[in-house]
Amino acid sequence: MTAPLSQVLILLAGCVLLVTIARRLGFPTTLAYLVVGVALGPHALGIVSDSGTTRLLAELGVAFLLFTLGLEFSLPRMIAMRREVFGLGAAQVGATASVFAVLGRALGLPWLTAIVVGGAISMSSTAILLQQLTERSELNRTHGRLAFSMLLFQDLAFVPFLALASVLIKGQDHFQLSGSVLAVVGGIVAIAAVLAAGRWLLRPLFHEIAHSRLRELFTLTVLLVVLASAWASNVAGLSLALGAFLSGMMLAETEYRHQIDAVIRPFRDILLGVFFISVGMLLDMRLLASELGLVSAMLVTLVVLKALIAALVTRPFTTTRFKALRAGIVISIGGEFGVAICTIGVQAGLIPERLGEPLLVAIVLSMVLSPFILNNNKTVARFLLREKGPPRTASEREDAATSQIARREHVILCGFGRVGQNVARVLETQGFEYIALDLDPARIRAARQAGDPVIFGDSADESLLAKIGLETASAVVISFSDPGTSIGILHSIRRLRPEVPVLVRTADDARIQELQDAGATDVVPETFEASLMLVSHVLMLLHVPVSKVVRTMGDIRNSRYAVLRNIVRRGDARPLDDTHEHREEIKSVVVPPGAWAVGRTLGDVRNRGVEVAFTGIRRLGIMGREPAGDTVLRDGDIVVIYGQPEELERAESVLLAG
């Protein structure tokens, strides 16, 4: 056996090589990982073993995937999907398990064993399907949403099928209802615990962690939440992935959703690669070669029957046969839960080896072939329904229109938040075309429904920039407020097209030079531009000629806002750090008993050199806004102050002085 470090190096080298080749050829990366597992696994070269650690990491990869998916959902959305999850999901699992149970009985299996086998075959791979649907931007399409609903119910249905298999393995010839009820109750308690923790604990927890401003602490907290929720679900007999999904769904309603997603994504991608490799390791090539006919027959029967059954039960939930058939084709592959149940059954002698081992290979082979099945689900559905050219969908028309814009002169907007949308509206009024990039699915969906040419994607992705026509773009506008994000985008743009004008938005002047060094043609600091707008209005009110106002504004911009940097400070003032130099903040100060400020007015406080704005006073739970200068302070008052950091520090020292 190869040394552990050598195994890791060989595994990494194989992944880098095959993922690179897959990307070059336009194949999904999932296929590359599966091939690595098949080639290096115990049934081929035997370089990497299928250990318990590998399986655990693979399960964690699925859990992380479901957690990030949960961040895109919310509890109200899941409640709205209850009909699809519990109606369609139950119909798919029940119908598929019943049909294959009848086939198993016809092959000589006892009824209860046949039901276990039918339940195993009814399962599909959550990780593979969600990964492929996400890569193809089909998860939010009708067939993708219905497939996801069926996958959620399959995670719940895994528990009673596994419980039935365990009972049969122990030698009991009948199913004990009490054991099943106990398992279901345990699952319900676990789900309730995760939901309760998400609603009442996670938001305040992340509020405290975010205020610490420690990136590593935030990352550790995210990992703790994912693993703890997965553990709670697993202890109750459910899958790791279900608990992780529920916790992600709870965090979807918080303001930390995007940062959490950015933190967890690298861990998810790496561990998902391990999962796909572990699936490839399960494929026994020798058994496939010796039983090729039987395995092929089982594979075709499994995929075709599952697709047909799923399409039939999906039809009442869709408007067309085409969408129902696409959902059926997507759900037709096998799953890791099915592999687990069949493996347990074969090892315990519950399922005869002559049927169990070829069935295992057929299930795994369907997972290995899943990229080809999923990538062609539309083509296959049209062929089977003899639909030559159905009317193009709205999404297809939008994609075609966006592609046409990419071939003409246009402006690329990196970010489609409030600033990006404002720029887009002005460009439209002046007759300029644009294409926007953003990573918020909800925002993109709403924008595309409104007819805006917005695409989901990372603005720093060079292949995506090339696809949306960077070569023909007249200008690029980067509207993200984070300078680090903008610098990464600038590097990508300059590698592809060094001469295109790039305008960058930033909050202040702290990193202007760094942005210019990265390739920004011009940088617009919000605080300075707001000051210029106020100055221009004041000069106009003072009857300064318009031409002189415009010239003054131009001179200030040409000098890189030099005149606005000359801020006069008091002798005792000191900036907290460079980034606070031009930023005002709000702060709350509690007046303690015995403080000098007790019994004195706000005017008295100002007379001690305090130059902040008093925006409110909270007393006995009641907030008073914009207090007058003669307001008398009492001990326990919460005084809300607003100003620059050094002024806030001075005001706090006066209010707290003894």
479-494 pLDDT per residue, tens? 888 888 899 999 999 9
pLDDT band per the 50, 70, 90 thresholds, residue 312? very high
Indicate if 625 and 652 belong to the same structural domain.
Answer: yes
> 3-state SS string over 113-128?
HHHHHHHHHHCCCHHH
Picking from 91, 616, 132, the residue whose alpha carbon sits closest to that of residue 374 is 132
> What is the average pLDDT value for the chain, to the nearest integer?
79
- Span 124-128, average pLDDT: 82
Indicate if 401 and 498 belong to the same structural domain.
Answer: yes
Does residue 418 have a pLDDT over 80?
A: yes
Does residue 99 have a pLDDT over 90?
A: yes
Does residue 103 have a pLDDT over 90?
A: yes
Indicate if 364 and 402 belong to the same structural domain.
Answer: no
Q: For the chain, what is the domain count?
A: 4
In the block, residue with structure tokens 């610490």: 212
Does residue 478 have a pLDDT over 90?
A: yes
Give the per-residue pLDDT at 573.
41
Indicate if 5 and 100 belong to the same structural domain.
Answer: no
Indicate if 324 and 401 belong to the same structural domain.
Answer: no
- Span 38-64, average pLDDT: 74
- Span 424-443, average pLDDT: 84
Find how far residue 48's CA is from the centre of its chain. 31
Indicate if 224 and 352 belong to the same structural domain.
Answer: yes
Residues 348-369 have pLDDT tens digits of 788 888 888 888 888 888 888 8
Give the per-residue pLDDT at 292.
86
String of b and e for 134-163 (b: at least 16 CB within 10 Å)?
beebbbbbbbbbbbbbbbbbbbbbbbbbbb
Indicate if 309 and 407 belong to the same structural domain.
Answer: no
Indicate if 113 and 171 belong to the same structural domain.
Answer: yes
571 is a domain residue: no
Give the per-residue pLDDT at 284.
75
Give the per-residue pLDDT at 100.
93
How far is Cα 267 from Cα 31, in angstroms, rounded to an integer? 19
Give the per-residue pLDDT at 390.
46
Q: How many CA atoms lie within 13 A of 34 on its CB side?
A: 20
For residue 429, the domain's CATH number is 3.40.50.720
Domain boundary among 500, 520, 540: 520
Indicate if 94 and 150 belong to the same structural domain.
Answer: yes
Which pTM was predicted? 0.51
Angle formed by the axes of helices 215-235 and 52-70, nearest 10°:
110
Give the per-residue pLDDT at 178.
52
pLDDT band per the 50, 70, 90 thresholds, residue 584? low
Classify residue 213 as left (phi > 0), alpha (psi -120 to 50) or beta.
left
622 is a domain residue: yes
Give the per-residue pLDDT at 581.
43
How far is Cα 409 from Cα 434, in angstroms, rounded to an integer? 9
Picking from 80, 131, 99, the residue whose alpha carbon sits closest to that of residue 312 is 99
Give the per-residue pLDDT at 247.
79
Instruction: Say how many residues make up the chain.
Output: 658
For residue 334, the domain's CATH number is 1.20.1530.20
pLDDT band per the 50, 70, 90 thresholds, residue 97? very high
Indicate if 290 and 334 belong to the same structural domain.
Answer: yes
235 is a domain residue: yes
Give the per-residue pLDDT at 647.
82
- Span 3-11, average pLDDT: 76
Domain boundary among 385, 416, 440: 385
Indicate if 45 and 56 belong to the same structural domain.
Answer: no
Give the per-residue pLDDT at 302.
92
The answer for residues whose C-beta is within 8 angstroms of residue 467's C-beta and 6 or more apart is 406
pLDDT band per the 50, 70, 90 thresholds, residue 308? very high
The pair of three-digit structure tokens given for residue 477, joined into one six-digit string? 């506008």
540 is a domain residue: no
Q: Are 261 and 73 in contact (CB under 8 A)?
A: no
**Helix segments in 315-369, DSSP class H:** 321-330, 336-347, 353-368
592 is a domain residue: yes
pLDDT band per the 50, 70, 90 thresholds, residue 191? low
Domain boundary among 385, 411, 445: 385
For 417, counting Cβ atoms within 10 Å of its Cβ (0-12 exposed, 13-18 middle, 19+ buried), the class is: middle
- Span 158-174, average pLDDT: 69
Does residue 28 have a pLDDT over 80?
A: no
532 is a domain residue: no
450 is a domain residue: yes
Range of the domain at 150: 50-385
The pair of three-digit structure tokens given for residue 563, joined into one six-digit string? 């005149």
Residues 129-141 have pLDDT tens digits of 877 887 777 877 8
Choose the most confident range, by mean pLDDT, from 25-39, 158-172, 379-393, 621-635: 621-635
- Span 174-181, average pLDDT: 52
Indicate if 458 and 332 belong to the same structural domain.
Answer: no
**Total Cβ atoms within 10 A of residue 400:** 10
Give the per-residue pLDDT at 393.
52
566 is a domain residue: no
Residues 598-623 have pLDDT tens digits of 888 998 888 888 888 888 888 877 77
The answer for residues whose C-beta is within 8 angstroms of residue 391's C-beta and 6 or more apart is none
